[in-house]
Homo-oligomer: A and B are copies of this chain.
Amino acid sequence: MPEAAPRHPIAVTMGDPAGVGPEMAARAWEARREQGLPPFVAIGDVAAIETVWNGPVARVGDMAEVAPAFAGALPVWHLEDSGPLTPGRPTPAGATCALHTLETGIGLTRNQASAALVTGPVSKHALHGIGYTHPGQTEFIAERCGVTAANAVMMLAGPGLRVVPLTVHIPLAEVPDRLTSELIVAKARIVARGLKRDFGIDAPRIAMAGLNPHAGENGQLGDEEVRIIAPAIAQLAAEGVIVAGPLAADALFAPGIRQQYDALLCPYHDQALAPFKALHFHDGVNLTLGLPIVRTSPDHGTAFNIAGTGRADPGPTIAAIRLAATLAAVRERSCAAPR
């Protein structure tokens, strides 16, 4: 039995039909008992699953059908035919299907028919080819949820570590200018609220890394810590959000230190993600804080190079479904909390 099962099933989008998303959903279902996964439904083109997997499929068209079917077959919400399919070969029809799948998953979760949304990997390149203009799925989900993209905060969560990159997909040279006190304050607030509401941590312990090596050594190796980060931390403290730091990033990730905190805020992408993936490559989950819905995703891409070969590891998808269930159950328990 799942450790924390929400009342409703979880919506898992397959992502690009030619990527590893469909087979990862199928293999997560195969592992449902040993991994204690709650009922979920795979949304997308049923042919994308049947092309790469021989297991039992139960087509559903209503979320109420998911839980009864789940023990004996993988529930699949077939959305549309995405045309001739070759694993590893994305097509415009496949990208269109991935986009419709995402829209459907968001809608079901916004309606509370689904307890949480787990998004499979899409090809940004293929999506851009059909006119999609968002940098990734998160920005689209935020927009559909009525949240500005800046307030949708990416967190990477593993069993022993949660990290939040405060800037993401921008050139490194732009990071020092983009890191403002306002940005830090806004994102730290969302992280603190997410740790409370979604993870059920009453008094979250948060730390922040410096921008510069050794957190600037009191301004000797850069002054952003003094000029930007320290004032942000002071303002947060005045609001009751306690953030330790700025701390030297390399020391912060050492085992005895990182374990003291519920989340580590990092000024930029690689500072957060390189140590995170070094530790949690097989069980890391990408989740979005600040949304009215619970949203997680496996922390990998479409892996077109190995799609259909059986070599992809379903561990991250399993971890994403399990974490989504836990977070949704925590939100349900605190039913007074706003959705």
Interface 9-mer from A141-149, A213-221, A329-337: A213-221
Q: Is the CB of A213 within 8 A of B170?
A: yes
A238 at the binding interface (Cβ < 8 Å)? no
A278 at the binding interface (Cβ < 8 Å)? yes
- The digit string for A191-216, where 1 denotes a CB below 8 A from any CB of B, is 00000000000000000010111101
Question: In the complex the two chains form, what is the Cα distance from A211 to B212 in whole Å?
Answer: 15
Q: With A171-B222, A172-B212, A176-B172 in contact, is A255–B274 under 8 Å at CB?
A: no
Name the CB-closest residue of B to A176. B173
Question: In the complex the two chains form, what is the Cα distance from A264 to B39 in whole Å?
Answer: 42
Question: Number of A residues contacting the other chain (C-beta, 8 Å)?
Answer: 40
- Residues of B near A277 (CB, < 8 A) are 250-251, 253-254, 275
A134 to chain B, nearest CB (A): 14
Q: Is the CB of A249 within 8 A of B278?
A: no
Name the CB-closest residue of B to A167. B213
Known: A171-B212, A213-B270, A271-B274. 4 other contacts (CB 8 A): A213-B273, A250-B276, A275-B277, A275-B278
A interface, CB within 8 angstroms of B: 168-173, 175-176, 209, 211-214, 216, 221-224, 249-256, 258, 268-271, 273-279, 281-282
Please provide the 10 A-B residue pairs with the shortest distance between their CB atoms, ordered closest to farther: A171-B222, A250-B273, A213-B269, A253-B278, A275-B278, A254-B281, A173-B176, A249-B270, A275-B275, A274-B275
